[in-house]
Structure 1
Amino acid sequence: MSGVTDLVDPPRTRRPAITSLEVLCGLLVLAMLFQGRLAALLDVPALRTGSTIFVAVCVQAMPFLVFGVLVSGLIAAFVPPAALRRALPGRPAAAVPVAGVAGLALPGCECASVPVARRLIQQGVLPAAAFTFLLAAPAVNPVVLVSTAVAFPAEPRMVLARFLASLLTACAMGWLWARLGRAEWLAERVLRRVECHASGGSRWAAFTESARHDLVEAGGFLVLGGLASAVFNVLVPAAWMESLGGQLLLGVLVMAVLAVVLALCSEADAFVVASMPGLPLTAKLVFLVVGPAVDIKLIALQSGAFGRRFAARFAPATFLVAVGSACAVGAALLGGA
C-alpha cells in the first residue's frame, strides 16, 4: 500500500492568479504613497496639458459609453431576436435607410453606438443595417443637431448640412458593406448569436453580465483613444491652424485629419470647430461629419468590438465616404464657402 501511495501525486495547490484588477490596485496604492514625488516629476506644462485633454476626452465620452452598454445589455436580455429582425426590412437595400433614420432615436455619441451595433448583429440584424445605425446614431440624433444649432447661431444651414451629410455617409457605408462586405472580416465573437429566453431574475442577470462585459472591453479601448488624442494636441502647434483661412482644399484636408485624431464627442465637436476663426464653412462641415464617423477613439472601439480586420477596412472607407459626402453637401448648401 505504501508503494501505491507513493505513486499517487499529491494534490497540487492552485496558485492565485494576478489579474489586471490587482495590478491596477497596486499601481493606485503606489501612486498614493509617492504622490509628492510624482507631482514634482510630472510638473511639466506639456504633461499637464496632455493629462487635462486625456481626462476631458475620457470623462466626456464615458457617460455615453455607459449609456450604450446599458442599451446593449437591455437588447441582449429583454428584446427577442425575432422582434429585431421584424423591425427592419429583409432586403439590405431597404434596411439600410431605415436603420439610418433609426439613429434619431439614440441620443448618444459614437462610444454608445458601437456596443449597440455589435449586439444588434448578435441578435440577427443584418450587418449592413447595424453598421448604418452605428454611423448614423452619433451624428443625426436630436442632441447633436441642437448643439450644432447653438454653436452656429448665424449659420442655420449647418444643421441641415450636417444632418444630410452624416445620413448620406451612414447609408453609403451600409450599402457598400452589403455589396462588398465579407463575414470573415468580422471577429468570430461578433457572428455568434446571442439568444436570451430566460425570464424574471435570470433576464436581469443576463443584462448585468452583458453590460459589465461590454463596459470593461470598450472602456479599455476608449482609454487608448483618449491617450492618442492627448498626445496629438500637445505635439501640434496652435499656430498651424491660423494659416488655413481662405484655403478651401487645404482646410478640408486638415480638418478631416484633425477630426480623426482629436477624437471629440459628437455632442461637443460643434462648439470646438465653431471657435476656429477664418476656416471655410465646408471645411468645418467636414470636421463635423468625419469626427462621429471615424476617429482614433472610434477606430479603437471598433477594433475591440468587431476585430482588427474589420477596422482596417471599414475605417479608411468611412473616412473617404465621409469627406466626399461633406464636400458634396457643403457645395450644394453652403456654396463651397
Structure 2
Amino acid sequence: MQIALAPMEGLVDEILRDVLTRVGGIDWCVTEFIRVTERVLPVSTYQKLAPELFSAARTAAGTPLRVQFLGSDPQCLADNAAFACGLGAPVIDLNFGCPAKTVNKSRGGAVLLKEPELLHAIVREVRRTVPAGIPVTAKMRLGFEHKDHALECAEALAEGGASQLVVHARTKVEGYKPPAHWEWVARVQEAVRVPVFANGEVWTLDDWRRCREISGVDDIMLGRGLVARPDLARQIAAARAGQAVVEMDWAALQPLLADFWQQARRKMSPRYAPGRLKQWLAMLTRSYPEAFALFNLLRRENDCNRIDVLLGIDAAGDHQPAAGFRRMG
C-alpha cells in the first residue's frame, strides 16, 4: 500500500509539502503542476516550484518528490520532462485532471480527457524520451462532462507507458462536489494492468475504509482531506498495519502551524504571507474547532509582527503557545 500527497495548485507548495510530510504516513508527494506550452522551461522554474529537486528530490523529512507537468504538446512535454530528469526528477507525472477553467481553455488538464488518442500520444512520447529507469505516471478524472470514455482514457494512458494511474473519482463538471464515484476506480483497475490510486472525498479514517471497500484498491492519494487533517495519512498507515491509531491534537499541531507561518514569511512578501496562513487555517477548521477560533482572530489581521505575537513566536523565532493559541486551550 502507498499513500500519496496530491498536487494541489496554489495550495500544496514546498512549504506545506515540508510540514505535512514531517507528520508522517506519506510515501511520496507531487509538485504543483508545471505548465508547458512551447519551450523548455528554465532552471528557475524548478527552483520556484520544485526546490526539493536540489535536495535529492526529497522533502526535509525524506519523502520523495515527483515532478508534474501539464500541457497538450507531446514533444514539448517530453523535452521538458527530459530536462527535469536531468535536474534529478525521479518520477515524471502528467496532469490530465485539473478542472480549472483557465487551464482547460488553454487545452490542459481534464479537457484532454475528450481526446484519448492525444492522451496516448503524450504519455508515449514522454515515456520514449525520458530515461528508461525513470517512471512516467499520470493523474486523470473520470471524464469531462460524463464518464462514457473513462475506461478508454485509462487504457490509453496505461498503453502509452504510464506505470501508475491516479484516478480522481469525479468528472471535470462534477468538480469537487460529493460524492466521489469510488466504484469507477474499481472499473478502471479492472481495465488496466498497472496500479491504480483512488483519489477524492477521503477526509477521515472511515472514509478511507469505505473507499478501499468500494474501489477495491489499497493505494490512495490524499488531497484536501490531508490538508484539513495533517495526520490522516499517518492514521491510515497505522490502521492498515494493524497498529493503534493516535490522532494529532491541537497542541501537537501548533508548532507545525507556527513553522508553516515562519516559512511563509521568509518566502513571501508581507503583503501575501498572511493570506497563505489564513488559507491553511480555513481548511483546518474542518477538523479542529480551535482552528476556527484562531481563524476568526486572524481574519482581519495583516500585520506580520502582530501575527507573530498571536502565534507565540518571539523575536528570535522561537515558538511558545501564547496569546491566540492560549485562548483556544
**TM-score range, shorter-chain basis?**
under 0.3
Larger Rg: 1
* Greater length-normalized contact order (CA 8 Å, ≥ 6 residues apart): 1
TM-score, length basis structure 1: 0.22
Between structures 1 and 2, the one with greater helix share: 1
Between structures 1 and 2, the one with greater strand share: 2
